[in-house]
Protein backbone atom coordinates (compact mmCIF):
# COMPACT_ATOMS: atom_id res chain seq x y z
CA UNK A 1 0.00 0.00 0.00
CA UNK A 2 1.11 3.57 -0.70
CA UNK A 3 0.20 5.85 2.19
CA UNK A 4 0.38 9.65 2.42
CA UNK A 5 0.57 11.65 5.63
CA UNK A 6 -0.58 15.22 4.93
CA UNK A 7 -0.04 17.66 7.77
CA UNK A 8 0.13 21.37 8.44
CA UNK A 9 3.42 21.43 10.36
CA UNK A 10 6.52 19.30 10.90
CA UNK A 11 5.90 17.31 14.12
CA UNK A 12 2.17 16.79 13.43
CA UNK A 13 2.97 13.56 11.61
CA UNK A 14 4.76 12.08 14.63
CA UNK A 15 2.37 13.44 17.25
CA UNK A 16 -0.68 12.30 15.33
CA UNK A 17 0.28 8.93 13.93
CA UNK A 18 3.99 8.28 14.43
CA UNK A 19 3.52 4.75 15.73
CA UNK A 20 1.04 3.91 12.98
CA UNK A 21 3.60 5.13 10.43
CA UNK A 22 6.19 2.79 11.96
CA UNK A 23 3.63 -0.02 11.81
CA UNK A 24 3.04 0.61 8.10
CA UNK A 25 6.79 0.59 7.48
CA UNK A 26 7.13 -2.77 9.24
CA UNK A 27 4.42 -4.17 6.97
CA UNK A 28 6.31 -3.03 3.89
CA UNK A 29 4.00 -0.16 2.95
CA UNK A 30 5.42 2.95 1.29
CA UNK A 31 5.01 6.17 3.29
CA UNK A 32 5.06 9.68 1.82
CA UNK A 33 4.77 12.82 3.95
CA UNK A 34 3.70 16.31 2.94
CA UNK A 35 4.09 19.23 5.36
CA UNK A 36 2.39 22.42 4.24
CA UNK A 37 4.28 25.00 6.32
CA UNK A 38 7.50 25.33 8.30
CA UNK A 39 5.68 25.46 11.66
CA UNK A 40 7.84 28.30 12.95
CA UNK A 41 7.38 31.56 11.05
CA UNK A 42 4.25 32.67 12.95
CA UNK A 43 6.28 33.07 16.14
CA UNK A 44 7.17 36.62 17.10
CA UNK A 45 10.83 35.82 17.59
CA UNK A 46 12.13 33.52 14.91
CA UNK A 47 14.84 33.48 12.27
CA UNK A 48 16.07 31.32 9.43
CA UNK A 49 18.06 29.21 11.86
CA UNK A 50 14.84 28.29 13.71
CA UNK A 51 13.22 27.20 10.45
CA UNK A 52 16.28 25.10 9.58
CA UNK A 53 16.26 23.55 13.06
CA UNK A 54 12.63 22.51 12.66
CA UNK A 55 13.30 21.02 9.25
CA UNK A 56 16.29 19.09 10.59
CA UNK A 57 14.11 17.78 13.39
CA UNK A 58 11.55 16.67 10.79
CA UNK A 59 14.23 14.78 8.85
CA UNK A 60 15.57 13.12 12.00
CA UNK A 61 12.16 12.19 13.37
CA UNK A 62 10.92 10.63 10.14
CA UNK A 63 14.20 8.76 9.75
CA UNK A 64 13.60 7.23 13.19
CA UNK A 65 10.20 6.06 11.93
CA UNK A 66 11.84 4.48 8.87
CA UNK A 67 10.93 6.93 6.11
CA UNK A 68 13.30 7.79 3.29
CA UNK A 69 14.13 11.51 2.90
CA UNK A 70 13.18 11.08 -0.76
CA UNK A 71 9.58 10.54 0.36
CA UNK A 72 9.33 13.88 2.18
CA UNK A 73 7.87 17.06 0.69
CA UNK A 74 7.84 20.39 2.51
CA UNK A 75 5.90 23.45 1.32
CA UNK A 76 5.87 27.00 2.66
CA UNK A 77 2.32 28.16 3.17
CA UNK A 78 2.12 30.87 5.89
CA UNK A 79 2.36 29.27 9.32
CA UNK A 80 -0.85 29.59 11.36
CA UNK A 81 -2.35 31.69 8.57
CA UNK A 82 -3.80 29.09 6.23
CA UNK A 83 -7.07 31.01 6.50
CA UNK A 84 -5.41 33.81 4.50
CA UNK A 85 -4.75 31.48 1.57
CA UNK A 86 -7.44 30.27 -0.80
CA UNK A 87 -8.54 26.70 -0.21
CA UNK A 88 -8.01 26.15 -3.93
CA UNK A 89 -4.27 26.89 -3.71
CA UNK A 90 -3.74 24.47 -0.82
CA UNK A 91 -5.86 21.78 -2.46
CA UNK A 92 -3.99 22.14 -5.74
CA UNK A 93 -0.66 21.76 -3.94
CA UNK A 94 -1.95 18.56 -2.35
CA UNK A 95 -3.25 17.31 -5.69
CA UNK A 96 0.19 17.85 -7.24
CA UNK A 97 1.83 15.94 -4.39
CA UNK A 98 -0.63 13.05 -4.72
CA UNK A 99 -0.27 12.93 -8.50
CA UNK A 100 3.36 11.81 -8.17
CA UNK A 101 2.34 8.54 -6.53
CA UNK A 102 -0.71 6.30 -6.63
CA UNK A 103 -1.77 6.82 -3.01
CA UNK A 104 -4.39 4.53 -1.52
CA UNK A 105 -4.69 5.88 2.04
CA UNK A 106 -4.28 9.37 3.48
CA UNK A 107 -3.83 10.32 7.13
CA UNK A 108 -4.53 13.94 8.05
CA UNK A 109 -5.88 16.27 10.71
CA UNK A 110 -9.29 16.16 12.36
CA UNK A 111 -11.78 18.75 11.15
CA UNK A 112 -12.45 20.30 14.57
CA UNK A 113 -8.90 20.97 15.79
CA UNK A 114 -8.28 24.31 17.48
CA UNK A 115 -5.39 25.11 15.15
CA UNK A 116 -6.68 26.86 12.03
CA UNK A 117 -3.97 25.31 9.84
CA UNK A 118 -5.13 21.85 10.88
CA UNK A 119 -8.72 22.61 9.93
CA UNK A 120 -7.76 24.08 6.58
CA UNK A 121 -5.48 21.13 5.84
CA UNK A 122 -8.39 18.77 6.47
CA UNK A 123 -10.64 20.76 4.13
CA UNK A 124 -7.97 20.87 1.43
CA UNK A 125 -7.35 17.12 1.69
CA UNK A 126 -11.03 16.38 1.22
CA UNK A 127 -11.11 18.73 -1.77
CA UNK A 128 -8.00 17.21 -3.34
CA UNK A 129 -9.26 13.67 -2.68
CA UNK A 130 -12.84 14.14 -3.81
CA UNK A 131 -14.13 10.74 -4.95
CA UNK A 132 -14.04 11.06 -8.71
CA UNK A 133 -13.89 7.92 -10.90
CA UNK A 134 -10.11 8.13 -11.38
CA UNK A 135 -9.32 8.95 -7.74
CA UNK A 136 -6.68 6.59 -6.30
CA UNK A 137 -7.27 7.63 -2.67
CA UNK A 138 -9.83 5.23 -1.25
CA UNK A 139 -9.30 5.80 2.46
CA UNK A 140 -9.00 8.98 4.55
CA UNK A 141 -8.17 8.68 8.26
CA UNK A 142 -8.10 11.62 10.67
CA UNK A 143 -5.86 11.59 13.74
CA UNK A 144 -5.85 13.54 16.99
CA UNK A 145 -3.04 15.99 17.72
CA UNK A 146 -2.32 16.77 21.35
CA UNK A 147 -2.47 20.53 22.08
CA UNK A 148 -4.98 21.06 19.29
CA UNK A 149 -7.66 18.37 19.07
CA UNK A 150 -8.48 18.32 22.78
CA UNK A 151 -8.33 22.14 23.02
CA UNK A 152 -11.05 22.74 20.43
CA UNK A 153 -14.11 24.77 21.33
CA UNK A 154 -17.21 22.88 22.39
CA UNK A 155 -18.97 24.40 19.39
CA UNK A 156 -16.97 21.96 17.30
CA UNK A 157 -17.55 18.22 17.16
CA UNK A 158 -15.40 16.30 19.64
CA UNK A 159 -12.99 13.67 18.37
CA UNK A 160 -14.81 10.33 18.34
CA UNK A 161 -12.47 7.63 17.02
CA UNK A 162 -13.81 4.59 15.22
CA UNK A 163 -10.53 2.95 14.21
CA UNK A 164 -7.68 1.90 16.49
CA UNK A 165 -4.15 0.62 15.79
CA UNK A 166 -2.38 -1.56 18.35
CA UNK A 167 0.99 0.17 18.67
CA UNK A 168 2.53 -1.74 21.58
CA UNK A 169 5.38 -3.10 19.45
CA UNK A 170 6.25 0.23 17.76
CA UNK A 171 5.44 2.86 20.40
CA UNK A 172 9.10 3.19 21.39
CA UNK A 173 9.84 4.36 17.84
CA UNK A 174 7.30 7.16 18.20
CA UNK A 175 8.84 8.30 21.47
CA UNK A 176 12.34 8.17 19.97
CA UNK A 177 11.15 10.19 16.97
CA UNK A 178 9.59 12.80 19.25
CA UNK A 179 12.95 13.41 20.92
CA UNK A 180 14.02 15.00 17.63
CA UNK A 181 11.38 17.67 18.29
CA UNK A 182 12.76 18.58 21.70
CA UNK A 183 12.14 22.29 21.04
CA UNK A 184 8.42 21.59 20.53
CA UNK A 185 7.93 19.27 23.48
CA UNK A 186 6.94 20.53 26.93
CA UNK A 187 7.09 19.33 30.52
CA UNK A 188 4.06 17.69 32.13
CA UNK A 189 1.35 18.55 32.89
CA UNK A 190 1.41 20.22 29.45
CA UNK A 191 -0.57 18.13 27.02
CA UNK A 192 2.35 17.96 24.56
CA UNK A 193 4.69 16.15 26.94
CA UNK A 194 6.11 12.65 26.69
CA UNK A 195 4.19 11.68 29.83
CA UNK A 196 0.86 12.72 28.37
CA UNK A 197 1.57 11.22 24.96
CA UNK A 198 2.14 7.97 26.82
CA UNK A 199 -1.05 8.55 28.81
CA UNK A 200 -3.09 9.07 25.63
CA UNK A 201 -1.67 5.88 24.08
CA UNK A 202 -2.61 3.96 27.22
CA UNK A 203 -6.10 5.49 27.26
CA UNK A 204 -6.75 4.69 23.61
CA UNK A 205 -5.44 1.18 24.18
CA UNK A 206 -7.70 0.78 27.19
CA UNK A 207 -10.67 1.76 25.02
CA UNK A 208 -10.17 -1.34 22.87
CA UNK A 209 -8.47 -3.76 25.23
CA UNK A 210 -4.86 -3.37 24.12
CA UNK A 211 -1.89 -1.98 26.09
CA UNK A 212 -1.31 0.95 23.71
CA UNK A 213 -3.12 2.35 20.68
CA UNK A 214 -3.40 5.28 18.30
CA UNK A 215 -6.94 6.29 17.44
CA UNK A 216 -8.45 7.62 14.23
CA UNK A 217 -11.72 8.83 12.77
CA UNK A 218 -12.45 7.24 9.41
CA UNK A 219 -13.60 9.98 7.06
CA UNK A 220 -13.82 7.62 4.08
CA UNK A 221 -13.12 3.95 3.49
CA UNK A 222 -13.71 2.29 0.12
CA UNK A 223 -12.70 -1.36 0.11
Q: Give the rounded percent of residues in the chain with a pLDDT score beyond 70.
A: 100
Q: How does residue 30 score in pLDDT terms, banded at 50, 70 and 90?
A: very high
Predicted pLDDT of residue 41: 85
Distance CA 157, CA 167 (A): 26
Q: How does residue 156 score in pLDDT terms, banded at 50, 70 and 90?
A: confident
**Does pLDDT of 44 surpass 80?**
no
Predicted pLDDT of residue 70: 97
Q: Give mean pLDDT, residues 121-128.
A: 98
**How do residues 181-212 score in pLDDT, each as one tens digit?**
999 999 999 999 999 999 999 999 999 999 99
Predicted pLDDT of residue 145: 97
Predicted pLDDT of residue 154: 82
Q: Give mean pLDDT, residues 2-13.
A: 98
**Does pLDDT of 91 surpass 80?**
yes
Sheet with 163-166, strands from edge to edge, namely 72-74, 30-35, 2-7, 105-109, 139-143, 213-221, 163-166
Q: How many H helices and E strands in the chain?
A: 6, 7
Predicted pLDDT of residue 45: 76
Q: What's the structural domain count of the chain?
A: 1
Distance CA 51, CA 16 (A): 21
The rounded mean pLDDT for the chain is: 96
Predicted pLDDT of residue 80: 95
Predicted pLDDT of residue 26: 97
**How do residues 94-110 score in pLDDT, each as one tens digit?**
999 999 999 999 999 99
CATH code for the domain of 115:
3.40.50.10320
Distance CA 6, CA 144 (A): 13
* Residues 159 and 217: beta-carbon distance below 8 Å: yes
CA atoms within 13 A on the CB side of 220: 19
Structural domain harbouring 71: 2-221
Distance CA 171, CA 149 (A): 20
Q: Give mean pLDDT, residues 138-151.
A: 97
Predicted pLDDT of residue 153: 84
**Does pLDDT of 166 surpass 80?**
yes
Task: List Cβ neighbours of 53 (8 Å cut-off, separation of 6 or more).
Answer: 183
**Does pLDDT of 55 surpass 80?**
yes
Q: Give the rounded percent of residues in the chain with a pLDDT score beyond 90.
A: 92
Amino acid sequence: MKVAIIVAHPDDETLGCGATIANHIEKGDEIYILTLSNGVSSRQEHNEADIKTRQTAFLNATQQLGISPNNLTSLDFPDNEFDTVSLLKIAQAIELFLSKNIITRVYTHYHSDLNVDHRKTYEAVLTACRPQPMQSVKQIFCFETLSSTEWASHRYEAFKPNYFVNIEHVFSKKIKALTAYKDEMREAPHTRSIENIQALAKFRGMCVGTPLAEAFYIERFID
